[in-house]
A and B are shown apart, each in its own frame.
Chain A
């Protein structure tokens, strides 16, 4: 059945507005950025492709707030945990952002509570539990001794943030995709002067002149993994979050780093994976569930020394002689120093006669641990409230009577081929200074757009930080009028596929890019493969892009996304060409340069484009200097305001 498009056709119409701070992306990072800027008195506009109330990766929930090292129960310092992350990631970490997260995360949780989000067990549902502090009613996860990761009720967070944005007078443009940045040369320096966007339902263009802009959009996705039947499930994060912020940053000349990093696929529920947290496992949301094998024999947990743990409680404590352990979204198999309790390695289990399939069996756990995994964590995390908790309960699942099957090993629920890759586990992104400012004046970045980004707490903390730095900078500059030539060119670019009656559909191009990336930029790389890949992508740009067509603004937005995916794929290949040796922490291998981690290459490589030329930069590890000292040098105002 064919429908008439239900919204007005507003292509050719435009709205022009101006503000002090423009935030692109209304997820966790963007909302906090807008709140920080508005609190400082800035006029703020926020552009969001979906509806801010539930948009972004954490829109429907999240359960762990990591590295809130300054919470009242914490027994670690921000310096200890940030340094541990940097060391764990072999130097390829974001020290500035990690430190902000460790230092200010708790302040953002207090903000959240003041907005109406739930961060404590106020109903005493878990009174007396090992993981709960009965005085503050805060609930901890992973390391119960050091208490720096909090269990939170993330389903309440986005609606609370949305309400606070309204209260502060932030002008929110929902269902408006940001398509491009505006730049000018001011005092001899390239400067961001705002951005352009398009209403995803009517096609109306929005042009925002801003003194400062914060990029708070997603990390790239659908680069190697695409499924035309279920495109919504190709990746872990929402399907419309594909790295448009990276693409427009690149077009404007922003520098990136670590873009050569990609990891073997972890999730694609359009194929072999099950939806995150919906199958039996003992990681993350499900940590530290009791696992059993096909015979019903319990699978042992071991500490970092291989010592078999006797009780459930020990799964949440550091090993003898270990101060703390690291667990969380970007920690896979931690180094010995930071390794926490884990089930015995899979190969060892098979050797010892354990039989697949394995199951998560919560019935064997103490009541509070069972209830907190199935009911709170599964219920508050990401896409679990309705899709897992509610649906599985309706199907008859009872955690006291049933065990849930595990597929593959660990939390991934499937094994992917080496060339089926994703930007996951602290991937590359925008390179920045201590203000989270990019190399372009007036342009900041936060959350998933930063290099080596982490989870929702990271997004909140860096978003707020970027927002307040942007607001402070806005006090010192005047608005620059937008460059009309850029607006004209952008209109031509974004509407072109609507003007063609017959042509190539976005899915066909996304399919082709993903196959090209698997073939030419898979697990093992060399110069010939990479340049062949680049030449194939170039041919798509020259021959296919001008032939793209679509019937309505919804398809147009999807088409814009694939244009951005093409841009990001090119950044990735160019970045891969620059690193001429293997790097273990980047999951990066080259057959033509087989040496791994030679000292001369142990540093960040940055990449940007200027006038169509790709430009390389080399930046040493730890370019941020001493974390505490450098942070305090720049944030006395924040410290004096008591974390506001």
Chain B
């Protein structure tokens, strides 16, 4: 058990979208995530790697914690975006 590895486990959704221009790679989003779905990018200054996107709880704490608004966005799986329509009458 000396050498641990990790590979991203893809799923049908992409909960977190990073803006590489805005992100400063501070990893605060990673360190607030209670499910611990990210690891730091091996290259310092880059946004964290979402290793376990399927385990995301979609709470948005990562976005709330981000010091650069827009650097990380949360998006629901497509099937979970409820429909809205203009009011009637």
Give the interface of A toward B (CB within 8 A): 1-6, 9, 11, 49-51, 53-56, 59-60, 155, 175, 200-201, 228-233, 238-240, 269, 274-275, 278-280, 292, 295-296, 359, 361, 363-364, 382-383, 385-387, 390-392, 395, 397, 401-405, 407, 495, 498-499, 551-554, 558
> Is the beta-carbon distance between B82 and A230 smaller than 8 angstroms?
no
Interface of B is mostly: loop
Residues A269 and B34 in contact, CB atoms below 8 Å apart:
no
Contact A1 B61, beta carbon cutoff 8 Å: no
Q: Which B residue sits closest to A360, measured CB to CB?
A: B84
Which chain A positions have C-beta within 8 A of B82? Answer: 274, 278-280, 392, 404-405, 407
Tell whether, in the assembled complex, residue B11 and residue A3 are in contact, meaning their CB atoms are under 8 Å apart.
no
Name the B residues within 8 Å of A295 (CB-CB): 88
CB-defined contacts of B88 to chain A, threshold 8 Å: 292, 295-296, 403
CA distance A498 to B15 in the complex (A): 28
The answer to whether A3 and B85 touch (CB under 8 A), given A201-B36, A238-B35, is no
Nearest CB in chain B: distance from A553 CB, A: 7
Measured between beta carbons, the chain A residues less than 8 angstroms from B65 are 54
Chain B, residues 52-89, CB within 8 Å of chain A (1/0): the string is 10111111110111000000001111001111111111
Chain A residues with CB below 8 A from B59, complex form: 54, 59-60, 238, 382-383, 386-387
Contact check, A1 vs B8: say whether CB atoms are below 8 A apart: yes
Interface residues of B (CB under 8 A from A): 1-8, 11-13, 31-37, 39-40, 42, 49, 51-52, 54-61, 63-65, 74-77, 80-89
A61 to chain B: closest residue by CB = B59
**Are B57 and A383 in contact (CB-based, < 8 A)?**
yes
Q: Please, how many angstroms separate the alpha-carbon atoms of A359 and B83 in the complex?
A: 10
B63 to chain A, nearest CB (A): 4
What distance in Å separates the Cβ of B66 from its nearest Cβ neighbour in chain A? 10
On chain A, the residues within 8 Å of B2 by CB distance are 9
Q: Are A296 and B13 in contact (CB under 8 A)?
A: no
CA distance in complex: A495, B1 (Å): 9
For B39, the chain A residues whose CB sits under 8 A away are 3, 5-6
Give Cα A383 to B74, complex, Å: 11
10 contacts across the A-B interface (CB closer than 8 A): A6-B39, A6-B42, A11-B1, A51-B34, A228-B54, A274-B82, A296-B87, A403-B86, A403-B87, A404-B84
Question: Nearest CB to that of B4 among chain A residues?
Answer: A5
Which chain B residues lie closer than 8 Å to A405 at the CB level?
82-85
Q: Which residues of the partner chain A approach B12 to less than 8 Å between Cβ atoms?
A: 229-230
CA distance A196 to B21 in the complex (A): 43
- B34 near A50 with CB under 8 A, answer yes
CA distance A387 to B2 in the complex (A): 39
